[in-house]
Structures are given as structure tokens and as C-alpha cells.
Amino acid sequence: MTQLILHPTNWNDYSLIDSGDGRKLERFGNFLFSRPEPQALWSPRLPHSEWKKSSGSFLSSSSPLNENATGKWYLKKHLPQKWEMKFDNIKFFATPTPFRHLGFFPDQSPHWIWASKKIQSSIKLHDKPFSPKVLNLFGYSGLASLHAAFYGASVTHVDASKKAINFAFENRDLSLFQHLPIKFITDDAIKFVKREIRRENKYDAIILDPPKYGRGPNGEIWDFFKDLPILLKLITQILTLEPIFIILNSYAIRSSHLALNFALNETMGEFSGKVESGELSIVEDQEDPRQINTAIFARWEQKIN
């Protein structure tokens, strides 16, 4: 079984500048940010004076190597509340959040590109006009949804957080994608899928990026280890007879990608296709770059005869 290690490419608005001593220095648009990074067990290569140029630093309340520690942002006055960024043909806002990140995850861009190629290939295989139906569960700020819709998919974007849905709306409007077929729904993932089963609604592709823990709009509790197996069993009931792809991504567990590989392989056993898996990462923008793992993933694709 081959392990894939994917990292962002062709980003003008994002780069990993340096890392070390339990932190990483990244550029988001025109601004630098210093954030905790437990895997940076080495020393920074750039001098401290370069790190001091950051517009914002997230400091943990305990050891910087404790990835579950709480903390807060220390932001310089010149930093706007949010600013525009771009990837490929989508535009979106970046903003520091209480969860350390900037409102999106650039390391997921290889999934967006891979999905767009599958969508385009599927459209070309149909003699009549065809718009693959893509379900993006745990969709957050919507970049995967916007990218898929731009390349021809009809997208249903679901997230339990109304705030996240509003963020996705803002990104849609910034991209001027109001005309594209994207439905934004605030709902608990499992409850939504169960309703879709009853409605007999079907999807050609599904994107999953579940958190370790979470709460639905009505207080529903999401537990990755307890609820993901349940969700995987349910999603096969809302797939078309010839689904195109499934993407399962996880920041929730820092373990082997094999766990997701075997789970997704079992889930899609009745369909004709293949599963591949590996890690997402970010790579320093310098000579002899070091690489930081950010997530594990597994993805299934339809076997084309």
C-alpha cells in the first residue's frame, strides 16, 4: 500500500516561511503569522528578527508543544480584521480565529484540485449536460464547495455552525459565485444524512472533514471515534449507483492514515473503485525544506472502464 504525502502547490497567497522550536512562521497574503507547531522539533533557520515581523502570534496557555492547549492571539494594530486571499479561481477571506487557524486550511488544496479533475472527467463522460452532485459535510468556510462548484458540480454544503455557514456565504459572495448551484445548510451531519436517506436524495461525491469533537445546532454531540463509523455506514445509502469520489480527511487524530484507509475501503466495498491514503503536509519555502504533517486522509475514486 503506497502512502501519499500531499502538500500545497501553486499558492501565491500562502507559504510556510520557517519553522522550529515548536512553532511555524507562515505567510497569509501580505501578513506573517507565528503559530504553535508541536512537530517542529528542530531549530528555526531564520533569525529572530524575521519572526518578529509577524503581524500576529498565537501563544498557548501551556507548553507550545501541547497541541490541545488553549491560548490567544496577539495581533498588531496594522492587521485588518479580515483580508482577501485567492487560490485558483476562488476568493475568500482570511481572519485569525480562536482555534489558531486563519479561517481555512491551505494544506487541503490538493484535495480541491483532485476533486475538480474528477468532476471534470465525469462531466466529459456524459453525452448530455451533467452537473455532479457533491455533498460537503463539515464544510466550514466553504473553499472546497466553491472550488467544486466552479468546476461544474452542484454542491450541498452542510455545517453545524451557523457562524461557519455565514463565513461560507461571505466567501461565495466575494468570489461572485452567487449564480453557481451551491446550497448552504446548517445541520448536524448525521441527522442530515438520515433525512436524505428518507428523502431518497443521492449524491455522486462526498467530502468529509469531521472534527474530533463538536456540537450540532441543537446541542447534538459529535465524537469522532464513536460517530464516524456510524456516518460511514449511512453515506453509502445516499450515493448514486456509480459515485465519482469520496474524500475523508482528519485533523482529529495524529495516527496512521491506514485507519482511514481501511475504514473507507470497507465502506465502499460494494462499489467498483479504489482507495488511496496518506498525509497532508506543508513544506518550507526554502532550500532543503523541512516538511510538517498536518492531517491524514483516505480517498476513494470510481474505477473507469
pTM of the model: 0.93
8 grid coordinates:
500545497
List, for residues 5-63, the tens digit of each pLDDT value: 999 998 999 999 999 999 999 999 999 999 999 999 999 999 999 999 999 999 987 55
pLDDT value at position 236?
96
Kindly state the average pLDDT of the residues 128-135. Answer: 94
* C-alpha grid cell, residue 103: 479561517
pLDDT score for 252:
76
Strands 221-223 and 213-215: antiparallel
pLDDT of residue 153: 98
Q: What is the pLDDT of residues 146-199, one digit of tens each?
A: 999 999 999 999 999 999 999 999 999 999 999 999 999 999 999 999 999 999
Q: At 152, list the grid cell.
A: 461544474
Q: What is residue 99's predicted lDDT score, i.e. its pLDDT?
A: 87
pLDDT of amino acid 60? 82
Show Cβ contacts of residue 250 under 8 Å, excluding neighbours closer than 6 positions. Answer: 209, 210, 224, 260, 295, 296, 297
What does the pLDDT average to over 126-147?
94
Instruction: Report whether pLDDT(128) > 90.
Output: no
Which tens digits make up the pLDDT trace of 202-257? 999 999 999 888 887 888 888 888 999 999 999 999 999 999 999 999 987 666 89
Q: How far apart are CA 305 and CA 303, in angstroms?
A: 6
Domains of the chain, start order: 11-94 (2.60.40.1180), 108-302 (3.40.50.150)
Q: Model confidence over 60-85: pLDDT tens digits?
A: 875 544 445 578 999 999 999 999 99
What would the pLDDT profile of 245-299 be if each residue is shown by its tens digit? 999 999 876 668 999 999 999 999 999 999 999 999 999 999 999 999 999 999 9
DSSP assignment of 290-305 = -EEEEEEEEEEEEPP-
CB 279 within 8 A of CB 291: no
> What pLDDT is attached to residue 220?
81
Q: State how far the Cα of 136 lies from the Cα of 5, in Å rounded to an integer.
A: 23
For the chain, percent of residues with pLDDT exceeding 70:
95
- pLDDT-above-90 percentage for the chain: 84
Whether 261 and 269 have beta carbons less than 8 Å apart is answered as: no
How far apart are the C-alpha atoms of 209 and 247, rounded to whole Å? 8
| CA 297 to the chain's CA centroid | 10
What the block records as the C-alpha cell of 183 is 446550497
